[in-house]
């Protein structure tokens, strides 16, 4: 039964650690800003996963709470510096960030772009279904975002006269 519960388990210490790490995350997020946990780029996602891993190891292993808190603060500070540098130096931004890629232009599937992005047509169609697209004529554009998410820009119905602002595709590549 030790695999379910052991008298040696530091239950109280873990609960107190949860509160401590929670407070540390709140303080650091208030200092650095909500951007710390945004998913704008692949490295943002990697930082978020790394912070989750640090929290896990701090709460469930012999790593001290101070050590875990400093590691989290260090990663958040690095993320903050990188986001600042990205705004200042477009060359660095281009090296670090992926550029969004157009997968559908209107009702036209861009098969070369799908192939480049290693996305199957059935995966694209799945995203259209998730967005409640009933037919291809509703689609203005489908974009593979820099985070790996797929955005579907579409009309509410195929008979609608809704206007599409092309500004929504600024910074999106139409060719791989």
Q: CA-to-CA distance for 1 and 103, rounded, in angstroms?
A: 53
Q: For the chain, how far is it from start to end, CA to CA, in angstroms?
A: 56
Reported as a single tens digit per residue, the pLDDT across 99-140 is 899 999 999 999 999 999 999 999 999 999 999 999 998 999
Taking the C-alpha atoms of residue 146 and residue 41, their distance in angstroms, rounded to an integer, is 6
Where are the chain's structural domains? 11-95, 98-169
Per-10-residue mean pLDDT, the chain, length 176: 70 86 88 72 80 89 86 89 81 76 94 94 95 92 89 81 86 88
Is the pTM here over 0.85, yes or no? no
CATH of region 98-169, choose from 3.10.20.80, 3.30.460.80, 3.30.240.20, 1.10.3720.10: 3.30.240.20
């Amino acid at each position: 039964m030790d695999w379910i519960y052991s008298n040696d388990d530091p239950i109280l210490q873990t609960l107190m650690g949860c509160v401590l790490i929670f407070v540390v995350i709140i303080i650091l997020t208030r200092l650095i800003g909500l951007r710390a946990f945004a998913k704008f780029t692949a490295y943002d996602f990697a930082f978020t996963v790394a912070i989750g891993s640090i929290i896990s190891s701090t709460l469930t292993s012999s790593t001290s709470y101070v050590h875990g808190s400093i590691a989290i603060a260090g990663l958040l500070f690095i993320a903050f510096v990188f986001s600042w540098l990205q705004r200042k130096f477009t060359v660095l931004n281009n090296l670090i960030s992926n550029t969004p890629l157009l997968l559908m232009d209107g009702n036209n599937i861009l098969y070369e772009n799908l192939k480049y992005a290693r996305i199957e047509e059935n995966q694209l169609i799945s995203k259209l279904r998730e967005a409640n697209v009933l037919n291809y004529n509703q689609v203005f554009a489908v974009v593979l975002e820099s985070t790996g998410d797929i955005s579907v820009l579409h009309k509410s119905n195929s008979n609608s006269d809704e206007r599409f602002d092309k500004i929504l595709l600024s910074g999106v590549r139409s060719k791989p």
